[in-house]
């Protein structure tokens, strides 16, 4: 099991996270994943604007975990907006038993 939630657990009512996500047209689970991997050198804004392949993969894994653990609802179409882009998950990506 990964360790994303210890860095920033999703809370749907977190006003800072909700504002940051909404102002960037980004799903709150994606925003939480971005914050979970951000550092002083790779700020959330930098990751959001120009994610490396590794950062994209880590945020994707965080979103999978948040959904699997029930901290964020699964979207109907498996898409989790990241600005003009989106992380796309299949149900078996986050369903019980994959890990």
Band of residue 4 on the pLDDT scale cut at 50, 70, 90: low
User: Which residue's entry shows tokens 């890990």?
Assistant: 99
Domain boundaries, the chain: 4-92
Ramachandran class of 72: left when φ > 0, alpha when ψ lies in -120 to 50, beta otherwise: beta
Residue 72: band (very low, low, confident or very high) from pLDDT cuts 50, 70, 90: confident
Cα distance between residue 5 and residue 62, in whole Å: 8
CA atoms within 13 A on the CB side of 37: 22
User: What does the pLDDT look like over 8-64, one tens digit per residue?
Assistant: 566 656 888 889 999 999 999 999 999 999 999 999 999 999 999 999 999 999 999
What does the DSSP 8-state code read for residue 42?
A: S
Residue 99 has pLDDT above 70, yes or no: no
């Amino acid at each position: 099991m990964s360790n994303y939630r210890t860095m920033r657990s999703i809370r749907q009512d977190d006003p800072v996270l909700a504002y940051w996500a909404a102002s960037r047209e980004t799903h709150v689970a994606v925003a939480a994943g971005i914050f979970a991997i951000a550092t002083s050198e790779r700020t959330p804004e930098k990751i959001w604007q120009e994610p490396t392949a590794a950062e994209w993969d880590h945020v994707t894994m965080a979103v999978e975990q948040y959904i699997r653990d029930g901290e964020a609802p699964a979207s109907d179409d498996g898409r989790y907006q990241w600005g003009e882009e989106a992380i796309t998950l299949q149900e078996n990506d986050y369903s019980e038993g994959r890990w």
